[in-house]
Amino acid sequence: MLSTILLSSLLASGPGATALVNDPSSHGTIGDANLSLDEAIRLANGTLSLANLSAQEQAQISGQGAVTTVRIDASVTPVIAVQAPVTEIVGQGMAVGRVCVEGVAPQGTRPILDGGNVGYVLSLKRHLVAVSGLRFQGGDVAIVAQMPMMMSQMNEMGMVSDCEFDGQNVYGVELLATGMEETMLTCTDSQFTNMPVGFRIDETTTDGRIMCTGEHLTFDGVGVGCDAFEGGAGMQTMFSLFRSDFTNGATLGRSTRSSSSPKLFMFRFVYVDAVCTDHVVDCVGEAAGNTMIHHHHGDWTAGPGKYALFTHPRTAQFDIHGSEMTFHSDIWIGANSASARVWHQNNHYDDLTITFDCDGALPNLVWNRYDDCAVEVTPAARSPVDIRMSELVDTDCSSLAFLAPLKLSGCYRSGGSLTGFATEVLAAPQKMLPTTDVSPKQPLVGGDVNLAANSPPGVLMAWVFADSFSRPNTSQEPVRYYGDPSTAIVLPVVVAYQSLLTVPIPAISSLIGLEFYAQGVAFPMFGQSFLPIYYLPRGERITLR
């Protein structure tokens, strides 16, 4: 505890000095009239002394102590031409604190780092580095992050926020780790446009890792949102994405791994919507290591003839957990006998084919809705498929595997066929799963939010508002809470059948920016045995503006 307190005090020590960059060239010349970006970073690293600067350059330094802020003001230096990769940013350690490279946009336009065709623009070599408020144009890679093993339990991560990445030739952000390195990066409130790959992960450590978290990101015209290669051993590597959108690109997430790597690799997508021209998520696994694909509360559409979720080959190990999703394109789930979980719960499948080619964990499928779909089990599959308490409308179900029959247990089925080794038991006499719609998702304070519900006969529902969890626990089965129950407010009305409630939002400016979750809680009116004891239809995040 004492060491943590001491480390915290060190990390928080002093504002430090600020270096204002006023040279339109990235490297400039030491001793001239302008302070360049490279010179300012070398000052922050402690490898360049103030004494080596001219009086004009020294005049660009304000404050006392070591330089901890490198500032680029667009009104002073709107564009910096990057002549070569800028000196790696390492700072001077925990005793000095985090180095911040920040852009200032007084007229709303971020200062531009024009990378041309350089290999990379900025390189983050320590965890205590933050980059914000910049626009990166061109260059092969905008930011390369490669960081050493962490020396404390502080779990400090490099930070990138409020940036624009446009027109990189190869990657927007590249994360590398070898040996025992631990590259840790958080990227928030940023845009990626017109590039082959947004994030590239290349991990070949032994007992090291890469951990990357993105939130409030938009990808537009990006070929692959995250392209990951796992070739290491030891701890887990993870790419997590929250509250983000992917459009006009091929693939949201793609992963491959070496045949010998035993390391756990994980994609985690929560509140991520994607419309792709190729597969949305394409994971090529191996038998030696586990590839996890956790996906929750998103809306995914793949390109024609492509998959919204594609895990392959069937000889590889996967851990698949998806809930509160809406899929508009085909799904192919392959997994070997060592695969721990294949969970799909409380999802909506719309006009697609979902194929199970599993030889391990029994697919855990409950509370799903299938409209105009086909559910298929391949001849080679060895894992029986049991769909429980779900609704199937005009959906054909087929199993071609004697050892992997397909069974509908307690489901409602209207139309469609059962063929091959497909059976039905304890059929429900009616639909059982209410649906809800919340609009607008970003209402104005002083305005209204509309809560629409469509409940089957004999099902009642109450509406609940709660603070939205920034990191919801999505591993609970079969119920996940996206709103914090300790803050829940139950509206004083119970709805049935089709209903519409209009809820006024107080005209209080302090509410702006707050995020809530609107959730229905449904329960049987008469205790009908074929209905869930209680059920949570997918709700919606509400961000007040």
Rounded to whole angstroms, the Cα distance separating 530 from 458 reads 11
> Is the residue at 23 inside a domain?
yes
Look up the domain containing 103 and give its range.
11-107
Burial 409-430 (b: 16+ CB within 10 A, else e): bbbbbeebebebbbebeeebee
* 8 confidence band (pLDDT: 50, 70, 90): very low
Rounded to whole angstroms, the Cα distance separating 197 from 226 reads 7
> Is the residue at 295 inside a domain?
no
The number of folded domains in the chain is: 2
pLDDT of 393 > 50? The answer is yes
> Is the residue at 185 inside a domain?
no
pLDDT at 340: 87
Residue type, 309: L
The answer to whether 396 touches 420, Cβ cutoff 8 Å, is: no
> Is the residue at 299 inside a domain?
no
Q: Which of 107, 123, 148 is the last residue of a domain?
A: 107
The domain that holds 483 is classified in CATH as: 2.20.130.20
> Is the residue at 533 inside a domain?
yes
Rounded to whole angstroms, the Cα distance separating 499 from 502 reads 10
Q: Which of 107, 142, 160 is the last residue of a domain?
A: 107
pLDDT digits (tens, 9 = 90+) for 485-543: 999 999 999 999 999 999 999 999 999 999 999 999 999 999 999 999 999 999 999 99
**Closest C-alpha to 136, from 83, 85, 192, 189:** 192
> Is the residue at 279 inside a domain?
no
Q: Which of 83, 107, 131 is the last residue of a domain?
A: 107
pLDDT of 3 > 60? The answer is no
pLDDT at 421: 98
User: Percentage of the chain with pLDDT > 70?
Assistant: 97
pLDDT of 1 > 70? The answer is no
> Is the residue at 34 inside a domain?
yes
> Is the residue at 84 inside a domain?
yes
The answer to whether 286 touches 259, Cβ cutoff 8 Å, is: yes
